[in-house]
Amino acid sequence: MSTTLRDVARKAGVSKSTVSRVLNGSGYVSQETRQRVMETLQALDFQPNTVARSLVQGKTRTIALIVPSINTPFFAELARRAEDVAYRRGYAVMVCNTDEDPEREAVYLRLVQQKQVDGVIVCPARTTSRLLRSLARNRLPIVFVDRTMANVHADTVTTDNAEGAFAAVKHLLSRGHRRIGIVSGPQEIPVMRERLAGWKRALLEEGIEPDAGLIWSGAPTEETGKQAVRHFLALKPPPTAIFTSCCPLTLGVLSALRQQGIRIPQNMALVGFDDFEAASLLDPPLTVVAQPIPTIATVATKLLLERVEGRNDHPAHLVVKTNLVIRKSCAPIQQAQRR
C-alpha cells in the first residue's frame, strides 16, 4: 500500500498542510521542520502523485531552460545555478540545447507547449521568433537571458557587453598595444555586435581608426578562433594583441597560437570575454572579462518563478555589469614586439 500524506505527517509529528508546504516549496516552514519532513519522506519512500497535483494546481512545477550551447562554460554554469534555485523552490528544470538553430529552438518551444511547463528561461537563437511572441501573448511566463527580443512582454536579464569589451580593449591599449585584433561571433547575434562596438569605441577614444582587417567573425567555435589566428599572422604587420568575444573562440585562439609557436604574453597579448575554470590555471593565467553568472542565473530564475506564481506582472529589464579580471596574459608592447 502506498504511503500517504497522512502517514508522513504522523511519522514526522507535523500536520498534513506542513508536509504539503514542504512538497510544494510554498509557505513558511522552519529549517528544522523542513529537514525532519524531508528525512521522513525519504524514509517512507513517499512518491507524490505529480500528475494529480498538477491537475489540481494547474501547474507542473517544471520550467524549461533553452540555451544555444550547454557545452560552453557560460551556459553550463547558468544551467547549474538556475537548477539549484529552482530545486530549492520545488521546481524541476528541463534543459534544451538549440545549437543556435531557430528550427531546433521552435521544436523545443512546441515541446514546452505540449508538456505544459510553467515557464521558460530562454536565450533566443534569433532576435525574432513568431512562436515566442505567441507564447508570450498566451501568458506563458518567459525570461530572456543574455539576449533580448523586442516587443515581447517578458523579463530580461542581460550583461553590459559593450562596456565589458571596452574595458578589455582599454586594458590592452594601456599596455601600449595599438594593433588589436578582435575575434567575434556572428554579427546577427546581439551580444556579438555589442562586444564589437565596445572594441571599436575603445580604439576611437584613443584616436585609432578601427581596421577592418583586424576583425574576424564566424561561428562561435574553436575552429573560428584558429582561422582568425592564421588570418592575423598573415597581416603586415600582424596585431600585437587579440581580444576574443567568447570562450570557444578564446580556446581556438590559444590552440592556434601554441601551434604557431607564438608565446603569450611575450609574442601576443590576449584577453577573452568570459571566465572559465581553467583560465586561471593556464600558463600564463588568462586575463578575462568575467560575467557574474551566479547573479544572472539566480535573478532570472527568481523572476520567472515570481511570474509563474502570480507575484509579478510588470516586466523587469536588468543589465548586470562585468568585471575585468587582470591576470598575466597581457605584456607591454615592448615585450610583445619581440618575435
Residues 22 and 121 both lie in one domain: no
pLDDT means over runs of 10, the chain (339 residues): 77 85 74 85 69 50 92 93 91 92 90 84 85 85 90 90 98 97 93 97 97 96 97 96 97 96 96 94 96 95 91 83 97 63
Which CATH number fits the domain that encloses residue 28?
1.10.260.40
Query: What was the pLDDT predicted at 338?
Result: 42
Domain that includes residue 32, residue range: 5-48
Query: What was the pLDDT predicted at 309?
Result: 86
Angle, CA 194 vertex, CA 188 and CA 198 arms, to 5°: 140
Which CATH number fits the domain that encloses residue 199?
3.40.50.2300
Q: Which helix (H) or strand (E) segment is 289 a member of?
A: strand 287-290
Residues 198 and 329 both lie in one domain: yes
CA distance 129 to 95: 19
- Using the structure block, give the residue that is written with the C-alpha cell 593565467: 285
Query: What was the pLDDT predicted at 123?
Result: 93
- Tell which residue, 215, 323, 265, 248, has the closest CA to residue 75: 248
Query: What was the pLDDT predicted at 128?
Result: 75
Which of the listed residues 13, 31, 48 is the one where a domain comes to its end? 48
Residues 94 and 65 both lie in one domain: yes
Residues 330 and 268 both lie in one domain: yes
Residues 126 and 138 both lie in one domain: yes
Residues 170 and 279 both lie in one domain: yes
Number of structural domains (the chain) is 3
Residues 21 and 142 both lie in one domain: no
Query: What was the pLDDT predicted at 329?
Result: 97
pTM above 0.95?
A: no
How far, in whole angstroms, is CA 73 from its chain's centroid?
8
| Other Cβ atoms within 10 Å of 225 Cβ, number | 28
Residues 130 and 178 both lie in one domain: no
Residues 39 and 171 both lie in one domain: no
CA distance 338 to 55: 70
Residues 181 and 308 both lie in one domain: no
Which amino acid is it at 243? F
Residues 154 and 201 both lie in one domain: no
Peptide bond into 284 cis (omega under 30): yes
